[in-house]
Amino acid sequence: MSTFPENALEQMRAWVLALSALCVAGAPAPAQDFPTRPVRIIVPFAAGGAVDDLARIVGGRLAASWHQPVVVENHAGAGGNLGADLVAKSPPDGYTLLQTTNGQAISPSLYRALPFDAVRDFIPVTQLVASTLVLVASPHVPVTSTRELIALARSRPGKLNYGSSGVGNPLHLTMEMIKGAAGIEIEPVPYRSDAQINTALMAGEVEVAVVPLATSLPLIMAGKLRALGVTSAQRAAALPEVPTIAESGIAGFASTSWQGLFVPARTPRYIVDAIQTQTGQALQTVDMRERLKALSYEPIGSTPAEFEAYFKAELARFADVVRQAHIPPQD
C-alpha cells in the first residue's frame, strides 16, 4: 500500500490550517462579541421628553446586559430628521442606534426632500413600545372635557392655541386630526419637546395640547394639567376615569403612538439580531414591564421582520393622514 511522504503530509496539514484560518477571518464575529465598546443611542428630540426618558431606561438595561456604556445623545431639530440623518450617515456597525417615534414614518410624506431615505437608509430593529397620547388643557382654561373644549373653540374660532413639537410630529398630526374631526380651529405654537409643551401649558402660554401620557401623567395626577381625553380606542389603565376622544363626541376617533430602534442600512444581520434579542429580553423582564406599565407603555420587542412590515404599513397610513389634514409640503 502506498503512503505519502512525511513532508507531503505536513504540507497538507499546513494548507488545511491556513485555509481554516482564512475561513475564520472572513466570517462575521459571533454575536456574543458585540458590543466591545460604548454604544450611542441617538434621540432626535430634546432632553426631558418621552423618547429621551425611555431611551435612558432602555439604555441603562442594555448597558447592564452588554457590560458596556450606552450613551444617550440628544440631537433635536427638523422634527426629528436631524438626528435621523446623523444615524443614516453613521458607520453601519451597530454602535450608533436611532430611537425615535412614528414621526419616522411621517416625514417622507411631509417634507419636499429629506437628506436620507427612510426605508433604504435604515434597518428597523425592533418596536420598543406602543403608547397612548392624551388631550390635555392648561389649568387656566375653563374646560374639563373634550366636549367643552370643542364648544369653547367653536365660540372663539382661531383664538385658542395648542402646543406642538413640530409640523408633522405625531403630537401635531393627532391634534390636527382632532381639529378636523371636530370642525374647530386652534392655532399651533411650536416647542422643541413635549416637556416644553407641558411647561407652557402649566404656565398658561397655550391652552391645550396632545402629549404623551408617559410624561404628562405625573402632572395630571398632581392637578397641574387637566386630562380631557385619551386618543386610544380604549381607556388608559393609568387614567380609567378619563374617557376616550371617541367617547367624547368624536365617534370612531383613535390614534396611538410608538417608539422603535433603527440602525444604518448595511449593518450586519448578526448585529441587528443581537441588539433586538437583548432589547426584547430587557423589555420582558418583570421589573421592566412594571416600570413601563407605570408610564402607560405597552412593551413590544418585535423582531426586525415584524417591525419592518409594521413600519412600511405606518408609512402608508400616515401618507393618508397628511393628505387628509391638508398639510402643505415642508421644506
Domain ranges across the chain: 33-130+258-324, 132-248
Superfamily holding 33-130+258-324: Bordetella uptake gene, domain 1 (3.40.190.150)
Residue 22: per-residue pLDDT:
44
Residue 2: per-residue pLDDT:
45
Q: Cell 437628506: give the residue.
A: 115
Residue 321: per-residue pLDDT:
85
Distance CA 80, CA 88 (A): 12
Task: Give me Rg for the CA atoms of the chain.
Answer: 24
Residue 169: per-residue pLDDT:
83
DSSP-derived letter for residue 299 is E
Residue 28: per-residue pLDDT:
47
Distance CA 152, CA 121 (A): 45
Residue 326: per-residue pLDDT:
82
Instruction: Using alpha carbons, list the distances in angstroms from residue 274 to 103, 133, 265, 271.
Output: 25, 31, 16, 5
Superfamily holding 132-248: Periplasmic binding protein-like II (3.40.190.10)
List all residues 6 or more positions away from 134 whose beta carbon is below 8 Å from its beta carbon: 210, 211, 212, 213, 216, 220, 227, 228, 229, 230, 231, 236, 239, 242
Q: Cell 415584524: give the residue.
A: 306
| Residue ranges in the chain assigned as alpha helix (H) | 6-26, 50-66, 81-88, 103-110, 146-155, 170-182, 194-203, 213-221, 269-283, 286-294, 304-324
C-alpha torsion sign, points 149, 153, 156, 161:
positive
Could you tell me if residue 100 is left (phi over 0), alpha (psi between -120 and 50 degrees) or otherwise beta?
Answer: beta
Backbone torsions φ then ψ of 273, nearest 5 degrees: -65, -35
The helix (run of H) or strand (run of E) holding residue 90 is none
Grouping H, G, I as helix, E, B as strand and the rest as coil, residue 123 is strand
Q: For each successive 10 residues of the chain (331 residues), what is the average pLDDT?
A: 50 48 45 88 93 96 97 93 97 98 94 96 98 96 96 95 88 92 94 92 97 94 97 92 94 92 98 98 95 90 98 94 85 84
C-beta contacts of 238-241 below 8 A and 24+ residues apart: 238/213, 238/294, 238/296, 239/134, 239/213, 239/296
